Structure 1
């Protein structure tokens, strides 16, 4: 084809092809392989993919079963209300110590996973590839008792086309009378391929409220649900703490004055492309609900708008997970016991709950838009965590 068409036309055609076809077309010639695996082509293909309305039609669902405790991923069509067509996506790697990974976050179809050996993995299910990141600078071995706990995040900065992992490492306090040390802020840049401790200053007196939930990536920053620590006059209202991935500085985003009270049941999300806060509260005794607030104009406090209120039906609904194209809300519902839950669809108009047939462990559900992405294609293959079946297949392919 390149013998008959100008190079710019060939490039335009390739930009319009799905990821699966591009992976196959690397075998056409060395020049095509070099082009498709170049960072310039990968970034421009993603930019075009993000602009296509069709890319908002698919959702990827992560869930985890007990006995054995292994995570699973499924691809579903959000245009299909019944979710009859469900495609399984096998996670090709397994943790060395435990059988599941902690999900740090997902963005643009890339997932950041973490295991108990301080190993971080970036995984792209579109191309069935993952890489293991080098060990962070702030490790237990290097810093001893300084590292008490870490709050982590994974995000994308469109201004630099760079994916970054953020670690906020807090010191442990053996003697509570001692003044607390400020946390260390460490960032891994995929473009740079290394970790580094930044000079970012963590705002004093702020504590996280969403330790069990992945942070939200939006507009080149990661966002955490947080609030000022308790003071003699009582708790202050919660807030959103953002970390700019390019400038590597923290910013405080206020919430509507007087609307929220301090609670650990608050976390951030992205709904309809806007920064959102999910706030769990009680209307009255034994009647809990989840209020979904959306920031219509990013960074403008006055643009916070209450979008939905989900009645938790006396505990039947455990957690809100996301919004469907038809206006329904994806939720996690209890089906028996604290760890047996299912993915369900909640109609805010009729307040009816419909089970979607995907079960799993409580607090291990994750729903995100699925975007085909060539990210990591230009990185070396990593077989260190491959399952035995995947290792055999990898050897046959080579």
Structure 2
């Protein structure tokens, strides 16, 4: 690769990934009261309870909660399925929120495994970038077979607040890898209504509404004619699915800022409360269109004038991603007689304000159609997708400042990279099967 010369490990002490990092808050009151030996003893007692007549009331509630907060998600999943009292604690909102704030953040990588031919995810530790866990998509759920086969294209629409939104053709699934909980999103109002059959789903976005503590999926519908061509002038409708309400609703009078079908580079980027696309229209040229999940409105953000000017000459490409908690633009400019590309990384300070774009740094040059940027870690270190042998892709970490490379031990095809923080939120509530 042009522009990178040395290979080796990155510097010690790196600890922040490209997305929103986890909180460093402790668990109020619990950490100072109980020592490790007491916790270990209670864990053993909890395990024995399923075969004994011991009651949960025999243990101090504070000790039980403190112990549960330290257990891995897999153990919590098992415990809540056999005990009514533990189920009540583990599925309560206060417990879920406290545990989420005290758990580590991860980088989630979705890819197609070349050995098993399955779609899988790997979680990379935010502190070290070591792979700590790998599982097949939708494992231990009734939906696993529908998305695990190699011959099915499965994409991650978005990942936020511990929930992953998956797409296979026109089927959309919400999945919590920590709880092994999954739910198929029902057909939208247009797809299930014969009178609306000429409207077709074009773009989808997934995010979290913190104002209402709700996960949402937004769908942009485009009107087509009898000749299967889009009607002009463009007619579009927007509908939103709410996990809390369990249904879709139309947003009358809320229209995207562009004819999304005319965009020559349409890409989605999930930032939690916002979902953004890179689109194009006559008024703004190429620009960012974002949907605010809480307020359910679209926000238009023009690109910097210098980028728009270069784009008009056709010698550059743009894509969206995130740098820390900010929306970022990877502006790739051709050079060397169209043999190389240089990546200029811009970060947006405020949605809707074109003057808030800042040019952070430059990566490359790389050979044209060579490495692709998939994200950032510890500010300006770059996660790159590079070609391995055959159809394999490898994920590596590059530190442009000292020109060093680290192999992240992710080898597959079509990798997608997201910020991930474990969350025990229930998508489909499953009551305990054995009560004691």
Range of TM-score over shorter length: 0.7 to 0.9
Across the two proteins, how many residue pairs are aligned to each other?
Answer: 362
Q: How has the CA–CA distance of structure 1 residues 340 and 172 changed in structure 2, closer, same or farther, with 3 Å as cutoff?
A: farther
What displacement does 1:34 show?
2.4
| Residue number among 235, 241, 251 corresponding to 2:289 in the alignment | 241
Q: Answer with 191-200 or 278-287: which moved more.
A: 278-287
Alignment-derived partner of residue 73 in structure 2: 19
Name the CA distance, whole Å, in 1 between partners of 2:115 and 2:202. 28
| Residue number among 171, 195, 201 corresponding to 2:248 in the alignment | 195
| Residue number among 147, 154, 178 corresponding to 2:199 in the alignment | 147
| Residue number among 72, 85, 88 corresponding to 1:34 in the alignment | 88
Alignment-derived partner of residue 221 in structure 1: 274
Name the CA distance, whole Å, in 1 between partners of 2:320 and 2:99. 25
Alignment-derived partner of residue 334 in structure 1: 387
> Secondary structure at 1:167's aligned position in 2?
strand
- CA RMSD between the two structures: 3.4
| Residue number among 125, 135, 154 corresponding to 1:89 in the alignment | 135
Alignment-derived partner of residue 300 in structure 2: 252
Name the CA distance, whole Å, in 2 between partners of 1:244 and 1:177. 26
Structure 2 portions without partners, runs of 5+: 1-55
What displacement does 1:86 show?
4.3
Name the CA distance, whole Å, in 2 between partners of 1:49 and 1:295. 31
Q: How has the CA–CA distance of structure 1 residues 10 and 267 changed in structure 2, closer, same or farther, with 3 Å as cutoff?
A: same
Alignment-derived partner of residue 378 in structure 2: 325
Contact 1:216 1:224 in 2 (8 A): no
Q: How has the CA–CA distance of structure 1 residues 94 and 275 changed in structure 2, closer, same or farther, with 3 Å as cutoff?
A: same
Q: Normalization by structure 2: what TM-score?
A: 0.72
> Secondary structure at 2:306's aligned position in 1?
coil
Q: Answer with 256-265 or 220-229: which moved more.
A: 256-265
What displacement does 1:33 show?
1.4
Structure 1 portions without partners, runs of 5+: 382-394
Name the CA distance, whole Å, in 2 between partners of 1:201 and 1:217. 21
Structure exhibiting the larger radius of gyration computed from Cα positions: 2
| Residue number among 224, 230, 242 corresponding to 1:172 in the alignment | 224
Alignment-derived partner of residue 138 in structure 1: 190
Contact 1:267 1:279 in 2 (8 A): yes
1:45 equivalent in alignment to 2:96: yes
What displacement does 1:324 show?
1.8
Alignment-derived partner of residue 270 in structure 1: 322
Name the CA distance, whole Å, in 2 between partners of 1:24 and 1:336. 41
What displacement does 1:179 show?
2.5
Alignment-derived partner of residue 308 in structure 1: 361
Name the CA distance, whole Å, in 2 between partners of 1:125 and 1:31. 23
Q: Normalization by structure 1: what TM-score?
A: 0.78
What are the within-5 Å matches in structure 2 for residues 113-124 of structure 1? Answer: 113-116=166-169, 118-124=170-176
Q: How has the CA–CA distance of structure 1 residues 3 and 140 changed in structure 2, closer, same or farther, with 3 Å as cutoff?
A: closer
Contact 1:318 1:331 in 2 (8 A): yes
What displacement does 1:275 show?
1.6
Contact 2:307 2:331 in 1 (8 A): no
| Residue number among 372, 375, 379 corresponding to 2:425 in the alignment | 375
Name the CA distance, whole Å, in 1 between partners of 2:234 and 2:349. 37
Name the CA distance, whole Å, in 2 between partners of 1:175 and 1:26. 51
Alignment-derived partner of residue 15 in structure 2: none
| Residue number among 400, 405, 408 corresponding to 1:356 in the alignment | 408
What displacement does 1:64 show?
1.5
